[in-house]
DNA sequence: TCCAGATCGGAAAACGCTTTCCAATCACGG
DNA sequence: CCGTGATTGGAAAGCGTTTTCCGATCTGGA
């Protein structure tokens, strides 16, 4: 007798603890509507093969509203075996480059009724791996890797392993601007854009260039440098040794790299920073060193970050439709999985502004 | 006989369909380690009261690694009755104001082992409500509302209802810079910051002001305007009628508002835009209209957006530690729920730069 | 050597939902 | 009026965990 009471109370106790108190369950809705659990479920999901009588459906919906019922997404995920979660991994959400991409991903996700979760790795490859692992644990349906590193062997391999595990668990993957992983990829025309920029600048009369390159292990940075070189080569110009300074892919990195270049002393008349954020840092450095802009030194960037459209002098750059990058990445990812990873190529467009005035005349 | 075969195959079929193929289950790990399901679970969660023998624990962990096992977060959520999801709702993730806050939230969430999901409402109050509903459905543990609208009655009320439902379901809530909802709030010293800016500008010798205000229904914008007015009043100055122009809370809104002001004609010598992004738009408008900066018109903003630190002339503004706002919001939210909503006050700091040179001499 | 007490493993229930399978109900033509 | 087929409601299994309760095994003391 006592035992039985004990059992009862303890079971009750557990039930209460576990319950998200206040959230009605489908079972309760069904009871309120006077139908079975199955019918209530069908009233919501309205399968094509099995219909529920209109009046019953009405009753269920009304009961749901009355009880302020919302389906428990976790329970649905369990029963259905799939979620509607999109995981987006970026280097730094406060960097306008990534927040623009994020905006695109979220817009596209919205169209598909998906929810976006984000992780900001602060450019730490280890955290990138961690985050992918967390998303696998969440059984996210889609993983989007933005700005993945072209890192040293070990971490890069661990990322590959995690991504493979994610896919093995049934997840879809897309990456932006990488080439290592065998996944759907949106590739930015970094080489062609930078090459186009180089020839255009040459056409404007510039002959002596320097480049503020990003970290050597960052693929995007490498490609832009290589493209710029190739573009110069095409018009018979070149980038002498000592004219390339590596730096962080940030505003401060650009500032530091430009300072370094000035410190070394240079006769370049035009400097190409491999992204806009670095270019802005470079402009600040030039100003701080009393170099007149753009008369004594012209500056060009890459990306055409919207937030930076109003710097003075207005920055010559290569416009990349960043938000579209995000949109395309999600679209690639949600397509029915193919045998081979797909690729979507997006080209940049050279935009000449005041920071590189015409010198040809 | 046939029926039984049918049953078997269909059950099998369902099992296969529902399974996230490739993801090992705890059951499988347990079997591989030669222990029971319960023991395997305990090996991972290591409750204080119930321990598992070290050698068994080792076996389980090894089996898990071998099978590449990850716990299913959805199943855990069901069993535990709670998730580790944080929902963050912002107006526009591409706006540096919000991406800075997001960075802060993510940093703090990371410390607590929480995962952040984000929704960008594009300043549409209806989508804000939708997003909160989605988070309730996910049974998110924490909801953070950044830049909530001080909207018209109806939508605002619907938001209130949704938020209440979220709380009723056991969720914790924090908001940034709002006063309507009875939830934990991080309040920014908008009034005091703007007032400080006004008196400082007055001290620099400015006497004739204009304000590019945000949308009237946005609480933050109203407070900054009111604070600026109050600051002027304190030093015996005022803001005549016709010197306040409303506009969107964006770069283009600032551009439009400034254009409008110039179009009307004004003898103001200093214009205060209620945020930095608008201020930058205003500077662009001034430039396009041939007004010299800062000689003919001084400009001040609010927020001290990092990405905009390098505009020229450098922008006078009120520095708000945006990332800290996010950190504090999360901290408030994860504190054990109190009977009364808590408030964390964060003050801004006036930063004078070149856009408002000293006129007093 | 044996027993009390402590320790630890395992069966089973519970979380909230979806979906299958079967049975009951209904309309209808012969 | 009855049998047939189409339609729809409901019971139950299953998704992958956590946690309780009970029973089995071990330790050490007399």
Q: Sign of torsion, CA A88 A90 A94 A95?
A: negative
CA distance A338 to A183: 10
- Residue A29: the pLDDT is 94
Tokens for A196?
């186009």
Tell me if A18 and B136 make a contact (CB, 8 A cut-off).
no
Q: Does A156 reside within a domain?
A: yes
Q: Say whether residue B137 is in contact with chain A using an 8 A CB cutoff.
A: yes
DSSP conformation letters of A48-61: SSS---HHHHHHHH
Least confident of A258-262, B52-56, B225-229: B52-56
Taking 50 as the threshold, does the pLDDT of residue B54 lie above it? yes
Taking 60 as the threshold, does the pLDDT of residue A240 lie above it? yes
The more confidently predicted of residues B13 and A306 is: A306
Q: Does B356 reside within a domain?
A: no
What φ, ψ does residue A198 adopt, rounded to 5°? Answer: -60, -50
- Residue A8: the pLDDT is 29
CA distance B88 to B132: 9
* Mean pLDDT value across chain B: 89
- Residue A259: the pLDDT is 97
> Total domain count for chain A?
3
Q: Say whether residue A81 is in contact with chain B using an 8 A CB cutoff.
A: yes
Mean pLDDT of B253-278: 96
- Residue B148: the pLDDT is 64
Tokens for B102?
């997001």
Give B83's contacts in chain A (Cβ within 8 Å).
74
The verdict on A177 and A273 lying in the same domain is no
Taking 90 as the threshold, does the pLDDT of residue B278 lie above it? yes
The more confidently predicted of residues B326 and A157 is: B326
The CA–CA distances, whole Å, from B23 to A136, B39, B254 equal: 9, 20, 52
The more confidently predicted of residues B103 and A149 is: B103
Q: Are A268 and A297 contacting, i.e. CB atoms less than 8 angstroms apart?
A: yes
Residues 6+ apart with CB under 8 A from B296: B269, B286
- Residue B337: the pLDDT is 83
Q: Which residues of A119-150 are buried (b: 16+ CB within 10 A; e: fewer)?
A: bbbbbebebbbbbbebbbbbbbbbbbbbbbbb
Tokens for B317?
């503004």
Q: Does A206 reside within a domain?
A: yes
Least confident of A10-24, A269-283, B66-80: A10-24
Inter-residue long-range contacts of B39-43, CB under 8 Å, 24+ positions, other chains counted: none
DSSP conformation letters of A161-223: HHHHHHHHTT-EEEEES--SSSSEEEEE-HHHHHHHHHHHHHHTT---EEEEE--TT-HHHHH
Q: Which residues of B196-224 are buried (b: 16+ CB within 10 A; e: fewer)?
A: bbbbbbbebebeebbbbbbbeebbbbbbb
Give B310's contacts in chain A (Cβ within 8 Å).
251, 280-281, 283-284, 311
The verdict on B305 and B206 lying in the same domain is yes
Q: Does B336 reside within a domain?
A: yes
- pLDDT tens-digit map of B137-191: 999 999 999 976 665 677 788 899 999 999 999 999 999 987 788 999 999 999 9
The CA–CA distances, whole Å, from A343 to A190, A338, B219, B227, B275 equal: 15, 12, 45, 53, 40
Helix runs in B68-184, H state only: 73-80, 96-111, 125-137, 153-168
CA distance B102 to B112: 15
- ω into B131 cis (within 30 of 0): no
Q: What CATH number does residue A243 fall under?
A: 3.40.50.2300
- Residue B212: the pLDDT is 98
- Residue B332: the pLDDT is 96
Task: Please state whether beta strands B244-246 and A172-176 pair in parallel, antiparallel, or not at all (unpaired).
Answer: unpaired
- pLDDT tier, A219 (very low <50, low <70, confident <90, very high otherwise): confident
Three-state SS for B237? coil
Domain boundary among B16, B40, B71: B71
Mean pLDDT of B197-203: 98
**Measured torsion, CA atoms of residues B224, B227, B229, B231, in degrees rounded to the nearest 10:** -140
Give A311's contacts in chain B (Cβ within 8 Å).
310-312
The verdict on B249 and B310 lying in the same domain is yes
Mean pLDDT of B236-240: 92
Tokens for A346?
């997006």
CA distance A284 to B344: 35
The verdict on A178 and A197 lying in the same domain is no
The more confidently predicted of residues B233 and B9 is: B233
Tell me if A22 and B118 make a contact (CB, 8 A cut-off).
no
Q: Does B355 reside within a domain?
A: no
Mean pLDDT of A196-225: 95
The verdict on B6 and B118 lying in the same domain is no
Chain A 10-39 contacts with nucleic strand C (CB below 7 A): 11, 14-15, 18-20, 23, 25-27, 37-38
List bases in chain D with any atom under 7 Å of a protein Cβ.
7-22
The verdict on A127 and A236 lying in the same domain is no
Q: Does A101 reside within a domain?
A: yes
The verdict on B200 and B287 lying in the same domain is yes
The verdict on A118 and A182 lying in the same domain is yes
The verdict on B211 and B230 lying in the same domain is yes
Tell me if B323 and A134 make a contact (CB, 8 A cut-off).
no
- pLDDT tens-digit map of A246-286: 999 999 999 999 999 999 999 999 999 999 999 999 999 99
Taking the C1' atom of C18, which residue's CA lies nearest?
A79
Q: Does A353 reside within a domain?
A: no
The verdict on A53 and A87 lying in the same domain is no
In Å, how far is B100's CA from the nearest CA of chain A? 5
CA distance B166 to B170: 7
- pLDDT tens-digit map of A296-316: 999 999 999 999 999 999 999
- Residue B349: the pLDDT is 97
- Residue B150: the pLDDT is 62
Q: What Å value separates CA B41 and C1' C11?
A: 14
- Residue B2: the pLDDT is 29
Domain boundary among A18, A40, A70: A70
Residue B204 domain boundaries: 190-320
CA distance A137 to A121: 18
The verdict on A225 and A314 lying in the same domain is yes
**Nearest beta carbon to residue B117 from set A21, A115, A133:** A115
Domain boundary among B71, B99, B130: B71
- Residue A262: the pLDDT is 96
Provide the edge-to-edge strand list for the sheet that holds B244-246: B244-246, B209-213, B270-273, B298-300
**Nearest beta carbon to residue A120 from set B22, B106, B287:** B106
Q: Does B316 reside within a domain?
A: yes
The verdict on B59 and B87 lying in the same domain is no
- pLDDT tier, A180 (very low <50, low <70, confident <90, very high otherwise): confident
**Nearest beta carbon to residue A78 from set B74, B133, B134:** B74
- pLDDT tens-digit map of B88-107: 999 999 999 999 999 999 99
Q: What CATH number does residue A53 fall under?
A: 1.10.260.40
């Amino acid at each position: 007798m006592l035992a039985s009471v004990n059992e009862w109370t303890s079971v009750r106790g557990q039930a209460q603890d576990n319950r998200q108190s206040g959230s009605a369950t489908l079972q309760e809705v069904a009871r309120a509507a006077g139908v079975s659990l199955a019918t209530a479920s069908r009233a919501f999901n309205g399968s094509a093969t099995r219909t529920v009588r209109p009046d019953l459906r009405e009753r269920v919906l009304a009961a749901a509203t009355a009880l302020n019922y919302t389906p428990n997404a976790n329970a649905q995920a369990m029963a259905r075996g799939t979620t509607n979660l999109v995981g987006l991994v970026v280097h730094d959400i406060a960097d306008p480059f990534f927040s623009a991409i994020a905006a695109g991903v979220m817009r596209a996700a919205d169209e598909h009724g998906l929810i976006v979760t984000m992780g900001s790795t602060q450019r730490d490859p280890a955290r990138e791996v961690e985050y992918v692992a967390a998303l696998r644990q969440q059984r996210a349906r889609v993983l989007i890797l933005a700005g993945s590193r072209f890192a040293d062997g070990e971490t890069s391999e661990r990322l590959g392993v995690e991504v493979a595990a994610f896919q093995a668990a049934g997840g879809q993957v897309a990456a932006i601007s990488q080439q290592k992983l065998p996944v759907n990829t949106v590739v930015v025309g970094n080489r062609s854009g930078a090459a186009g920029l180089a020839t255009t600048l040459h056409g404007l009369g510039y002959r002596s260039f320097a480049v503020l390159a990003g970290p050597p292990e960052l693929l995007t940075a490498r490609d832009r440098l290589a493209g710029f070189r190739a573009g110069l080569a095409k018009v018979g110009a070149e980038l002498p040794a000592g004219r390339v300074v590596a730096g962080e892919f940030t505003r401060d990195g650009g500032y530091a790299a430009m300072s370094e270049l000035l410190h070394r002393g240079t006769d370049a008349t035009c400097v190409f920073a491999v992204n806009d954020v670095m270019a802005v840092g470079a402009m600040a450095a030039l100003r701080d060193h009393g170099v007149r802009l753009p008369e004594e030194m012209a500056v060009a960037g890459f990306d055409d970050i919207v937030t930076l459209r109003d710097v003075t002098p207005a920055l010559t750059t290569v416009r990349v439709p960043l938000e579209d990058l995000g949109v395309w990445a999600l679209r690639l990812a949600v397509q029915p999985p193919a045998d081979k990873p797909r690729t979507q190529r997006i080209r940049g467009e050279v935009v000449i502004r005041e920071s590189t005035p015409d010198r040809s005349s």
